[in-house]
Amino acid sequence: MLNIALPKGRLGDKVYGLLEQAGFACPEMKEESRKLVFENPSAGLRYMLVKPSDVAIYVAHGAADVGVVGKDILAEGHYDIYELLDLGFGRCHMCVAAKEDYREDPGRPVRVATKFPHIAKNYYRGLNREIEVIKLNGSIEIAPLLGLSDVIVDIVETGGTLKENHLKVFEKIMPISARFIANKASYRFKGALIDSMAAKLQEREETK
C-alpha cells in the first residue's frame, strides 16, 4: 500500500484530479461522504484527507508515505521529510502587510500578528529588528485594524483580503507553492513508485 496524505479542500482536490489522470485513481474518493480514508486495494493506494497544516506531520511520522503541502507549512515547522517536487501551483507569497498609512516606529519592537511565528522571527532576525510576536490562528488581517499589531506576516494570494481591509504589502518574504513530500524511510523502500508518482505529477503540471 502507498499511503498518500492530501490536504482537505481545493488544493487536495486539484492534486487528486492530477493523480487520478496519472493512473493513481481511487474511485471511492468521488463518492459524496464524510470519510477521510479512501482505499483502492487492487491498485495498492490509500488516500487520507487531513488538515493542510497536518499533512507534513503524517508524512514525517510515516503514517503517510507521501503528501502534498504548502511551502509555508514546511518553512514554519521542522519536518524530517524529503521535499521532492515543487508542484508549481497554489502560488502565493508570504508577506509583511500593514495599514496603508503605517509608518514604523524605530524606537520600539514591531508588533507582528501571524499564524507563522517562526517565519516572522527569522525574517526580522535577518533585519536585526526586534519584534513582539502575537500568534493568531486566522483572520489575521483584523489585527492591525484593531490596533492589536503594527503589521501582519501572512499569505497573500490575490491581495483581495488586504485590499478590502485597507491593508497593503510592505515586503515580500518568500514565494510559496505546493510541494510533493515523502517520508524518508518510505522513500528508501518505495522510492521507485514514489519517483514515478512525482514524475507524473510534474508532467501533468508542465502540460497544463
Q: Are 60 and 191 in contact (CB under 8 A)?
A: no
Nearer to ligand PRP, 66 or 96 (CB): 96
Nearer to ligand PRP, 63 or 88 (CB): 88
Nearer to ligand PRP, 67 or 70 (CB): 70
- Least distance in angstroms from the C-beta of 138 to ligand PRP: 3
Residues 148 to 187 in contact with ligand PRP, rule: CB under 6 A: 154-161
Of the candidate residues 48, 55, 94, 140, the single one contacting ligand PRP (CB under 6 A):
140
Q: How many CA atoms within 13 Å lie on the side-chain side of 42?
A: 5
Rg (CA), the chain: 19
C-alpha cell at 138: 486566522
Q: Count residues contacting ligand PRP (CB under 6 A)? A: 12
Residues 100 to 129 in contact with ligand PRP, rule: CB under 6 A: none
Chain centroid offset of residue 121 CA: 18
Nearer to ligand PRP, 8 or 204 (CB): 8
- Least distance in angstroms from the C-beta of 157 to ligand PRP: 3
- Least distance in angstroms from the C-beta of 16 to ligand PRP: 19
- Least distance in angstroms from the C-beta of 27 to ligand PRP: 30
Residue of this chain nearest to ligand PRP (CB atom): 138
What are the phi and psi torsion angles at 73 (to 5°)?
-70, -40
Distance CA 188, CA 145 (A): 49
Q: SS3 string of 15-41?
A: HHHHHHHCCCCCHHHHCCCCCCEEEEC
Sign of torsion over alpha carbons 158, 162, 166, 169: negative
Nearer to ligand PRP, 82 or 90 (CB): 90
The residues that touch ligand PRP, with contacts defined as CB under 6 A, are 138-141, 154-161
